Structure 1
């Protein structure tokens, strides 16, 4: 009998609120959590906004040793992971640890801690040779993003396959896709997966400034990210984490678990074209969508909602709009689309998982979150982007997509599962 991968637990650290309940409230109300950066003095930079998480590690139950040891991104993952574990209802200590895996996505790893330690060790760049005697004992962990997956594995007691997936801005989507493959191939019965990112540091901000990818609407940060709007001028950075408990279907049913949905299809492609550029035709994303639909045994007409990448750049908006039309044909015009980055910013390697969780909650509530800040729709983007206000709709099959630097294009089909009520 073929094995199927279903989601039985979710946990979130996000701009606008810690925890899944606060996250859904923000999305469903169409509120934005982007603001002027407070983590550091951003005044010298072209873009000075971000979606910041109001995260207090002490309040979230981390010990002084954990706070000292863990980079902010790792702290996010542990806190979101604990929520997901509790939500799943699994007694992890009762499972065979060799049948538990971890697949964690991140694009830029422990950037915050690395930059902080470089500043200290180089005396704010004064010395070319960094003085290692000033470094914290855990500096090596910051250089190796796998340390974050290790922390999550320790949290859940995983002794099965444990890995980091780092494919740029599709990492949070690809990590869950890889986790589903581990379940389906029989390598694990439970995989704790998702993405985490805390990239808000001067080095990240200046990198996006240099390529002119970020918005300069600093005088109005709450409306700065405007996917599919003709007045858009770029993305807004963000941070956060979403951790998901993925479980083999019969394993979940045997214990009477609540099932949010099934990872029914997943595919990823690369355009092999340009580090940041996209073909306007959306061919590679369309290919990924088609393969994911085929895996899910779903037709284009089965898709009831599309969760867009929606970064807030014209290049991306045209690219994925074309991909939706190429894959779904006329049905694309009948399918509501929305973009969460308009509300929480772009958290790079975490955003794909945050979008998965938001989409699953849309299943639960029969409510499609809106695209915020969409007042003047770009006529070249002529689909239904659910502007400003959430929409009631029962959806059984949805599509979520991601696009990342390096040319990565990923697509995932999520389905409701029969008899999945709590």
Structure 2
């Protein structure tokens, strides 16, 4: 396959994030260093160790979906529909002119319908099993977003979900890329969605000691690489990409955001939730992606890191980057945009891939905000607090998930 490998590009993007409900709104906020953390409004979080998150602002499902259909979808699915609609519109594809069996969907979620789960559990405890909704299971399962997208647009190609915790949507993009390489589809809708700011989810991540508890300064709590970081800030949202071959995009005069130059995936095989302390799995994923791209370490101009602001995770990833890039690690630009969006879990990878594409388009590295006291063990350029102009041709995006799942994408400027 390597000799005959197709060149696959991105021709459409769609984004719902805590700092903007479109790709342009997302980029405007990130380039200006604006974050989205605030006290939780979805439920009474008074008794919780963490009482803030990065919620979507001003999202109304019925702006995108009819009220009856929206009522039969968990928010994570509503977000997926809205983001994929944006991406398809942005791509300019005429779906009526495409064989529906040649366009597919790979769309994942780390947790699926958590809002539905919490609501139905409370209903069961209050009123018993006979009161459970017949739509409970279809609203809960993580694959339903991919199914709903296909039904909405009559897309009959490969259709399924990925689920690898916080690497979910990067794996969705990798799978979509592979399906086109294997000639199982000509076009793919891919990405991820998450709506996990619920009582059970927040309580669970608190129990795992994964979330920041800086309740007095929520707007500064997501602070990757800062000496005082104490965990991630939960976010929510969705992102979608449209993939097709370079030849197809050029033939129809489509806007090309960038090319997927290389992909990599690996496992830590180390711990349930903690990363390998030396970033061994991350090293493998990045090296595999560079091999696929046919580039050397000094080609990487910018890395959008996983960078969740957990004490162990940030250090492990930086160690891995230094091992992979060598001396060039001190010349490349690095940032974690989770400092602004929070951690979108299964949707993080695709939203951050969109950030990478916009960074190349605008030739601007978005910052890592909230760095007041840089961790002395972080000795590379993490673009603290302010965006920076830079020539960008190759950018790399990492995503890692509980269970030791690692994924890397390398994008090339259009």
Q: TM-score range by the shorter chain?
A: over 0.9
Alignment partner, residue 33 of structure 2: 30
Query: 1:184 Cα shift?
Result: 1.2
Deviation at 1:36, TM superposition (A): 0.9
2:357 equivalent in structure 1: 360
Instruction: Give how far 1:59 is off.
Output: 5.6
Cα pair 2:9 2:257 within 8 Å, conserved = yes
**Residue 271 of structure 1 pairs with residue 272 of structure 2:** no
Residues 300-379 of structure 1 aligned to structure 2 (within 5 Å): 300-379=297-376
SS of the aligned residue for 1:410 comes to strand
Q: Deviations over 1:309-367 (max 9, x none)?
A: 11001101110000101100000010110001100111110011110011111111111
Is 1:148–2:145 an aligned residue pair? yes
SS in 2 for 1:101: strand
- Distance in 2, matches of 1:55 and 1:156, equals 25
CA distance in 1 between counterparts of 2:318 and 2:242 reads 31
Task: Give the match for residue 2 of structure 1.
Answer: 5
Give the unaligned 5+ runs of structure 2: none
Total equivalences in the alignment: 411
User: Which residue in the other structure is 2:53 paired with?
Assistant: 50
Is it true that 1:84 corresponds to 2:81 in the alignment? no
Is residue 13 of structure 1 aligned with residue 16 of structure 2?
A: yes
Q: Secondary structure at the match of 1:10?
A: strand
2:120 maps to which of 117, 122, 138 = 117
Post-superposition Cα deviations, 1:261-289, rounded to whole Å, max 9, x if no partner, equal 11111111111111111222111101110
1:165 is paired with a residue whose SS is coil
Q: What is the CA-CA distance between 1:55 and the residue it aligns to?
A: 4.1
Q: Where does residue 71 of structure 2 map in the other structure?
A: 68
Show the counterpart of 1:388: 385
Are the equivalent residues in 2 in contact too, given 1:285–1:409 (CA < 8 A)?
yes
1:172 is matched with which residue? 169
Query: Following TM superposition, by how much is the alpha carbon of 1:31 offset from its aligned partner in structure 2, in angstroms?
Result: 0.6
Cα offset, 1:19, TM superposition: 1.0
Match of 1:219 in 2: 216
Alpha-carbon distance change, 107 to 58 in structure 1, aligned in 2, over 3 angstroms: closer
**Is the contact between residue 49 and residue 221 of structure 1 (CA under 8 Å) also seen in structure 2?**
yes
Moved more, 252-261 or 151-160: 151-160
Among residues 132, 136, 141, which one is paired with 1:135 in the alignment?
132
In 2, the alpha carbon distance for the partners of 1:59 and 1:118 equals 25
2:87/2:242 contact within 8 Å kept: yes
Q: Give the deviation of 1:16 after TM superposition.
A: 2.0
Q: Would the aligned equivalents of 2:110 and 2:142 in 1 still touch at CA under 8 Å?
A: no
Q: In structure 1, how many angstroms separate the alpha carbons of the residues matched to 2:172 and 2:103?
A: 15
Question: CA shift at 1:92, angstroms?
Answer: 1.4
Give, in whole Å, the separation in 2 of the partners of 1:64 and 1:290. 47
Q: Distance in 1 between matches of 2:59 and 2:287?
A: 42
Q: 4+ runs of 1 displaced by more than 6 Å?
A: none
Deviations 1:213-253 (Å, cap 9, x if unpaired)?
11111011010011001011111101000011111221111
- Cα distance in 2 for partners of 1:181, 1:2 equals 10
Decide whether the 8 Å contact of 1:4 with 1:183 is kept in 2: no
* 1:93–1:157 contact (8 Å) kept in structure 2: no
Offset at residue 58 of structure 1 (A): 4.7
- Aligned to 1:122, what secondary structure does the other structure show? helix
What does residue 281 of structure 2 align with?
Answer: 284
Q: CA deviation at 1:140?
A: 2.0
User: For 1:205 and 1:77, how far apart are their aligned partners in 2?
Assistant: 21
The CA deviation string for residues 10-65 of structure 1, in whole angstroms up to 9 with x for no partner, is: 00111022111111111110111011110101111111111100143356232111
- The one of 396, 401, 404 aligned to 2:398: 401
- Find the aligned partners of 1:80 and 1:319 in 2 and give their Cα distance: 32
Say whether the 8 Å CA contact 1:57–1:75 is kept in structure 2.
no
1:165-200 CA distance string (max 9 Å, x none):
000110011111111111111111100001100001
Give the aligned partner of residue 420 of structure 1: none
Asked if the contact 1:194/1:242 (under 8 Å) is kept, the reply is yes
RMSD: 1.2
SS at match of 1:18: coil
Alpha-carbon distance between aligned partners in 2 of 1:140 and 1:405, rounded to the nearest angstrom: 24
Measured in 2, the distance between the counterparts of 1:215 and 1:195 equals: 24
Give the Cα–Cα distance (whole angstroms) in 1 for the partners of residues 265 and 51 of structure 2.
32
- Superposed displacement of residue 136, structure 1: 2.5
Contact kept? 1:57, 1:67, Cα under 8 Å: no
